[in-house]
Homo-oligomer: A and B are copies of this chain.
Amino acid sequence: MKKESRKFTVTPWKIEGNIQEEDYAKLTKEFGTEPLTNELLERIKKHTGELHYLLRRKIFFSHRDLKWLLDEYEKGNKFFLYTGRGPSGNVHLGHLLPWILTKWLQDKFKAKLYFQMTDDEKFLVSQKLSLEETRNYAYENALDVIALGFKPELTKIIIDTENIKKLYPIALKVAKKLTFSTVKAVFGFDNATNVGMNFFTSIQSAPCFIENKPCLIPLGIDQDPHFRITRDIAPKLGFMKPALLHCKFAPGLGESGKMSASQPETAIFTTDSEKDVEFKIRNAFTGGRETIAKQKQLGGMPEKCTIYHYLLYFFEPDDKAMQEKFHACRMGQTYCGECKVKLAETINKFLREHQKKRELAKKQLGKFLMKD
């Protein structure tokens, strides 16, 4: 049998290759998830009154058991939300993507949220970060979470090493049902993988089982393997399988791949200065032609343009405005330079606000952190 050639690799710790729009369908198939259908979106809309642009645009594109979750909700069984962050550095816009939708879901469904900071994991996988550093990032990154406007009365931020007393007994119950064979198969581990990583996924499962209620996890598709394990084990522990809602990778500013913290020039960090933003956007890859004359003649290629994708993913929630921008570019009526200047301004406006809220979050931290 001829093996299909693979242009990308997706695991929770590595995303490689140039992932194209059409690859998400492959990923859905390969991971065995369900595509997020218009029918499901309509069911969500029935409860929320409107649809978030990240749903309308299918930036959240795939799910597991969302239909079941909505069935339960309609029977009166409310769900809680769970998402998280591996605190290995500063937060960039790509990290915000699942959190933005999570915040919207919290508001619309008045849902409790557990937000997990996996400082333990990031220490275990890092070549250079100390545990003290990943824990510091956990606190730093928590400010970005809070700045997005989550409700303190509905939100518990878990920092793994701080809240381990709560997580560990649950993780032990998961770990007892989980063999090395399984983590080897799911994550591609081998005999040289450290035993902390073998165990870690049990800790990432734990928040699903703090409460025996339906649970919805908005997350990057790369994190799906962890929760395949969680879902497999849940019924063995007498719990419901968490439902998942997967998003695509946020676009980077380079020619290919996702936004990556390890290539800082491809990502806008929430802590970037105005100058940083201007510089990065000025150097961003676009779908523009070599000359203004050619742009006028042939039109731009917005589908290849990182500026366009930044608007689509983050900064232009209005679909009509988005279509007009697409059309104007295609028609050669707009030029990359002006699009870049506008986007940099929009980002800097967002960051000024975000950074202000991030400062205020320092005083609110205590209200958000899970106790014990």
Chain A positions within 8 Å of B, measured between CB atoms, are: 120, 123-124, 131, 161-162, 164-165, 168-169, 171-173, 175-181, 183-184, 189-196, 198-199, 201-202
Contacts and interface: CB of A to CB of B under 8 A. Distances in A.
A195 B191 contact: no
A193 B195 CA distance: 12
A355 to B, nearest CB: 31
A164 B201 CA distance: 17
A199 B195 contact: yes
Given A175-B199, A179-B193, A180-B198, 9 more contacts: A123-B172, A131-B169, A162-B165, A179-B192, A179-B194, A180-B191, A180-B195, A181-B191, A195-B195
Contacts of A123: 172, 176
A28 B226 CA distance: 43
A173 to B, nearest CB: 7
Main secondary structure of the interface of A (DSSP, over half): helix
A175 B131 contact: no
Nearest to A201: B195
B196 A172 contact: yes
A225 to B, nearest CB: 14
Nearest to A170: B131
Contacts of A162: 165
A103 B183 CA distance: 43
B164 A193 contact: no
A183 B168 contact: no
Contacts of A176: 123-124, 194, 196
B191 A202 contact: no
Contact of A194 (B161, B175, B190, B193): B175
A172 B131 contact: yes
A323 to B, nearest CB: 49
A136 B30 CA distance: 45
A302 to B, nearest CB: 45
Contacts of A196: 171-172, 175-176, 178, 199, 202
Contacts of A180: 180, 189-193, 195, 198
Nearest to A124: B176
A161 to B, nearest CB: 5
Contacts of A165: 161-162, 164-165
Contact of A168 (B120, B169, B175, B194): B120
A233 to B, nearest CB: 11
A182 to B, nearest CB: 8
A158 to B, nearest CB: 13
A195 B199 CA distance: 5
Contacts of A198: 180, 195, 198-199
Most B-side CB within 10 Å, residue of A175, A180, A195: A195
